[in-house]
Chains A and B, each alone.
Chain A
Amino acid sequence: MAACSIEDVLAKAEQDEAEKLKSITVQKELDLEFDIGNLVAYDVNRIDIRQFREQKKDDFLRSLARDNTQLLINEIWKHPTERVEEVIVVKLPEPTTVLPREKPPPKPRPPTKWEEFAKLKGIQKKKKTNLVWDDVAKNELHRLRNIARAQKIKVPGVGLTPTAQQSKTDLVRAVNVAKVSTASAGKFQDRLPKEKAPRNTGKKRKFQPVIGNFSNEKQRQLDLLKVMDSKKPRLDVNKAVNKQMREDDREESAAKFRKGGKKGRKGGNFSGKGKGGKGKGGGGKGRAGGKGQGPPGGKKGAGKPGKR
Chain B
Amino acid sequence: MQKLLEKKVKVQYVPCKKANTKRAKRFLDNRAPKLTENIKNAMIMKGGNTSMTVTQALKDIYALKKPSAVLYKKKNITRPFEDSTSLEFFSKKTDSSLFLFGSHNKKRPNNLIFGRLFDFHVLDMIELGIEKYISLSDIKSSKCPEGTKPMLVFAGEAFDHENDHKRLKSLLTDFFRGPVVPSVRLAGLEHVLHFTALEGKIYMRSYRSLLKKSGCRTPRIELEEIGPSFDFILRRTHLASDDLYKTAHRQPKALKPKKKKNISHDTFGTKFGRLHMQKQDLAKLQTRKMKGLRKRRGPAAAAAAVVEGETSPKTTEVE
Residue ranges of A at the interface with B (Cβ–Cβ < 8 Å): 16, 19-21, 23-24, 37-47, 49, 52, 57-58, 61-62, 64-66, 68-70, 72-74, 76-77, 81-82, 84, 87-92, 95, 97-107
Closest to A95 in B: B180
**Chain A residues within 8 Å of B249, by CB:** 98-101
**Chain A residues within 8 Å of B32, by CB:** 103, 106
A38 in contact with B177 (CB, 8 Å)? yes
C-alpha gap A89/B183 in the complex (Å): 6
B252 in contact with A105 (CB, 8 Å)? yes
B153 in contact with A49 (CB, 8 Å)? no
Closest to B211 in A: A73
Number of A-B contacts (CB under 8 A): 188
B105 to chain A, nearest CB (A): 28
**Chain B residues within 8 Å of A99, by CB:** 170, 173-174, 249
Secondary structure at the A interface, as helix, strand, loop or mixed, is mixed
**Chain A residues within 8 Å of B174, by CB:** 99-100
A66 in contact with B37 (CB, 8 Å)? no
**Chain A residues within 8 Å of B218, by CB:** 24, 73-74, 77
A40/B221 contact (C-beta < 8 A), A97-B170, A102-B40, A104-B247 known:
no
A46/B157 contact (C-beta < 8 A), A23-B220, A102-B118, A106-B252 known:
yes
User: B192 an interface residue at 8 Å Cβ cutoff?
Assistant: yes
16 CB contacts below 8 A, A to B, read A41-B151, A41-B154, A43-B156, A46-B157, A58-B225, A58-B229, A61-B203, A65-B223, A72-B153, A82-B183, A87-B185, A87-B187, A88-B185, A89-B186, A100-B248, A102-B119
> Which of A40, A52, A62 contacts B205 (CB under 8 A)?
A62
Closest to B231 in A: A57
**Chain B residues within 8 Å of A46, by CB:** 157
User: B14 an interface residue at 8 Å Cβ cutoff?
Assistant: no
Q: Which of A66, A72, A73, A101 has the most CB of B within 10 A?
A: A101
User: B302 an interface residue at 8 Å Cβ cutoff?
Assistant: no
User: B305 an interface residue at 8 Å Cβ cutoff?
Assistant: no
A101 in contact with B248 (CB, 8 Å)? yes
B151 in contact with A39 (CB, 8 Å)? yes
**Chain A residues within 8 Å of B215, by CB:** 16, 19-21, 23
A43/B170 contact (C-beta < 8 A), A66-B221, A66-B223, A100-B123 known:
no
The stretch from B51-59, B194-202, B265-273 touching chain A is: B194-202
**Chain A residues within 8 Å of B180, by CB:** 37-38, 95
A47 in contact with B155 (CB, 8 Å)? yes
* Shortest 6 CB-CB contacts between residues of A and residues of B: A20-B215, A102-B97, A100-B248, A105-B252, A65-B194, A103-B33
Interface size, chain B (Cβ < 8 Å): 67
Can you add 11 more A-B contacts, CB < 8 Å, to A100-B170, A103-B37, A103-B118?
A21-B216, A23-B215, A24-B214, A41-B151, A44-B157, A58-B225, A58-B229, A73-B211, A92-B182, A105-B35, A106-B252
A73 in contact with B219 (CB, 8 Å)? yes
User: B150 an interface residue at 8 Å Cβ cutoff?
Assistant: yes
C-alpha gap A64/B156 in the complex (Å): 11
C-alpha gap A95/B174 in the complex (Å): 12
Q: Could you tell me which residues of chain B, from 60 to 97, have a CB within 8 Å of some CB in chain A?
A: 97
User: B217 an interface residue at 8 Å Cβ cutoff?
Assistant: yes
Q: Which of B37, B185, B221 has the most CB of A within 10 A?
A: B221
User: B263 an interface residue at 8 Å Cβ cutoff?
Assistant: no
B119 in contact with A73 (CB, 8 Å)? no
C-alpha gap A31/B249 in the complex (Å): 28
